[in-house]
Amino acid sequence: MSFEIRPLTAALGAEIHGIDLTSLDDDAFAELRKLWLDYKVLFFRDQDLTIEEHIAFGRRFGELELHPFAPDLPEFPEIVHITSTKERPYAANSWHSDVTWRRAPSLGSILRGRVIPPVGGDTCFANAVMAYERLRPEWKERIEGLTAEHDYMRVFGRGVPDDKKDEMRKKYPVQHHPVVRTHPETGEKAIYTNRNFVNHIDGIAPEESEEILEHLERSIMSPNVQCRFRWEKDSVAMWDNRSTQHFATNDFWPEERRMERVTIVGDVPR
């Protein structure tokens, strides 16, 4: 290999150095994709990508989704803008996997830092496979075969005008995904619930549903299954939404933070 791998923690994550994401030949790209499956989230420094190059890199992994609710660039609808300013602070500061409210949620996401605060604004990642593996056997047995209801309204409903709610609900009905999904490429099992989009566990009492969701969330929240990335301008992070969750810290206000993301279309969770 012509690039250097620096693991972040024993749980997941690696910085890849000596690499230019705009000029990977097929062999280097294949090796990078294997490292992504192994480490689940990869980080790159000093990647001065144009928007077109960011999109092109994402498309090497598959079709890119167009997000119906998040702000994008009109001329580049594949790019989602994630912006926080003094006047409008924002950070996705809860543990989640992207767009699980879709029938076929995201395979992965590629995020690039445009404007980074001098300190703060880190992103934390959790290995959802390891979080599942650390559950006690009786908990694994308890959640085996369960599904959960995922709903975009929990996060994006307030931004949908009343006269559009019925139309958007028809386009994006609630989805029922496994509480534990199996990765289609590695065969690993991973926790697949999150507070952003899950209404409840299907077919059980609300109290039991809440107990299960809290227990799985605590497993995701353990530092033993996590890594943390400190951003710099032109840093890039790419994570596998099928086997990780992430949390963006909101400790940098009133500083500005501007990020751009592309999201790769995935498959129906099994």
Active site residues: 96, 98, 246, 261
CA–CA separation, 99 and 152 (whole Å): 8
Other CB atoms within 10 A of residue 185 CB: 13
For residue 8 the two structure tokens come to 């972040």
CA–CA separation, 264 and 109 (whole Å): 6
For residue 60 the two structure tokens come to 């090497």
Contact (Cβ atoms closer than 8 angstroms) between residue 135 and residue 219: yes
List the strands of the sheet with 106-115, edge to edge.
Answer: 4-7, 14-17, 41-44, 236-240, 106-115, 257-265, 76-84, 72-73
**DSSP assignment of 162-226, as one string?**
GGGHHHHHHHS--EEEESEEE-TTT--EEE---TTTEEEETTS-HHHHHHHHHHHHHHHT-GGGE
Other CB atoms within 10 A of residue 62 CB: 14
